[in-house]
C-alpha cells in the first residue's frame, strides 16, 4: 500500500508540474499578444490545444491527489 501511495503522489506532482507549464505557456502567449507581437499560426494552434487540455490535466491532478490522500489514510490490513 505504501508503494501505491508513493506512486500516486509522484504522479500527482508530475501532473501539477505539467499544469504549471501549460499555464506558463498560455500566459506568455497572452503577454506576447498584448504586447503586439504577432502569434504564428502554429503557436496559435498549440495554444488552442493547451487551453483545451488544461482542464483535463487539472482534473487528473486533482483525482490523483485525492487517491493518494485516500490511500495514505487507509489502515494497513492485518493478515
The total number of structural domains in the chain stands at 1
Measured distance CA(25)–CA(20) in Å, rounded: 9
* Residue 77: inside a domain: no
Q: Which domain holds residue 24?
A: 2-72
Q: Determine, yes or no, domain membership for 66.
A: yes
Does residue 16 sit within a domain?
yes
The whole-number pLDDT of residue 68 equals 82
Residue 37 lies in a domain: yes
Give the C-alpha separation, 29 to 24, whole Å.
9
* Predicted confidence (pLDDT) at residue 67 exceeds the cutoff of 50: yes
Give the model's confidence band at 76: pLDDT under 50 very low, under 70 low, under 90 confident, else very high: low
Q: Can you tell me whether residue 79 is helix, strand or coil?
A: coil
For 6-59, the pLDDT digits (tens) are 888 888 889 889 989 989 988 888 888 788 877 788 888 888 888 888 889 889
Grid coordinates standing for 27? Answer: 500566459
Amino acid at each position: 500500500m505504501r508503494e501505491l501511495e508513493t506512486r500516486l503522489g509522484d504522479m500527482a506532482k508530475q501532473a501539477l508540474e505539467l499544469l504549471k507549464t501549460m499555464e506558463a505557456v498560455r500566459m506568455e502567449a497572452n503577454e506576447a499578444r498584448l504586447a503586439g507581437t504577432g502569434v504564428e499560426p502554429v503557436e496559435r494552434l498549440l495554444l488552442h490545444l493547451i487551453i483545451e487540455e488544461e482542464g483535463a490535466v487539472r482534473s487528473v491532478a486533482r483525482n490523483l491527489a485525492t487517491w493518494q490522500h485516500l490511500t495514505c489514510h487507509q489502515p494497513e490490513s492485518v493478515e
